Structure 1
């Protein structure tokens, strides 16, 4: 078990005493090793070409599939352009927001995972921090996909025009 996963497990077993919520970004392999604690919700992000992650029996799980591409970057490589058809959409953003807004009060932590735990999951974690004030560990979110952050936070409008909501 990696040190990062051990650190996060320690925090998941000891939720914030003040009732605040926190969000963690993990890799798929680390998320698949999480114990199904009742205080955790999971946002499981997989690549379109990959099968769903094998995560525990969590009561609150949102499964999404989209490619890791910085779709708002005007200087996309040919490889990145090939992923645009499977990029993050307004519908993905709305699904995340609806999921989070419907969580019961006894959920103290959200774990977001993607394949590597660096880009898509970190972007969603940053967006949840900006939109809802969830606690994050910013030092672990530096490689977040900027297009997902911008779209989720309402800084840009995509197909279907997400609106910025704070609750």
Structure 2
């Protein structure tokens, strides 16, 4: 499985991918959705909204954080489409933390390797990475 990570601007400016793929679109608010160009190769879009933070604070309430429910939605979405796609495209506002965390956890769960998302230009959000990987591991171990 191939993974592409974008900032929102980069994603909206990029031509649609010409191989079967899904898009995980991450924003900070459900009211603020990225434009996703129509494309016959796109097999599905999952839109999520959560803050780019690891813990709640005076500015970011607990209910704005990434949750196990978000992780389950991501994993269920990917599993539902994985036999028909070659690529998973993930974007968030800056393309530096939330989207690489999702891509890294999925790459680890599906391909066994998340190295490309660590130690370079990305700084994956630890909370997002951990919860997606925990969900994928738990689901994979079920009969």
Q: Which residue of the other structure, out of 20, 23, 30, is the alignment partner of 2:10?
A: 30
Partner of 2:86: 108
Bigger helix fraction: 2
Query: How has the CA–CA distance of structure 1 residues 43 and 146 changed in structure 2, closer, same or farther, with 3 Å as cutoff?
Result: same
CA RMSD of aligned residues (A): 2.5
Q: Distance in 2 between matches of 1:162 and 1:135?
A: 14
The alpha-carbon deviation at position 143 of structure 1 amounts to 0.6
Q: Distance in 1 between matches of 2:46 and 2:112?
A: 17
The runs of at least 4 consecutive aligned structure 1 residues that moved more than 4 Å come to none
Partner of 2:124: 144
Q: Distance in 1 between matches of 2:15 and 2:79?
A: 23
**What secondary structure sits across from 2:102 in the alignment?**
helix
The alpha-carbon deviation at position 113 of structure 1 amounts to 0.2
Partner of 1:67: 51
* Cα deviations by residue, 1:28-61 (Å, 9 ceiling, x for unpaired): 0111123333422110001127511001113311
Bigger strand fraction: 2
Residue 48 of structure 1 contacts residue 86 of structure 1 at CA under 8 Å; is this kept in 2? Answer: no
* Cα deviations by residue, 1:81-123 (Å, 9 ceiling, x for unpaired): x242211111111110011001153411111000000111011
| Higher radius of gyration, 1 or 2 | 1
Counting matched residue pairs gives 135
Query: How has the CA–CA distance of structure 1 residues 65 and 53 changed in structure 2, closer, same or farther, with 3 Å as cutoff?
Result: same
**What secondary structure sits across from 2:140 in the alignment?**
coil
Say yes or no: does 1:92 pair with 2:92.
no
Query: How has the CA–CA distance of structure 1 residues 122 and 145 changed in structure 2, closer, same or farther, with 3 Å as cutoff?
Result: same
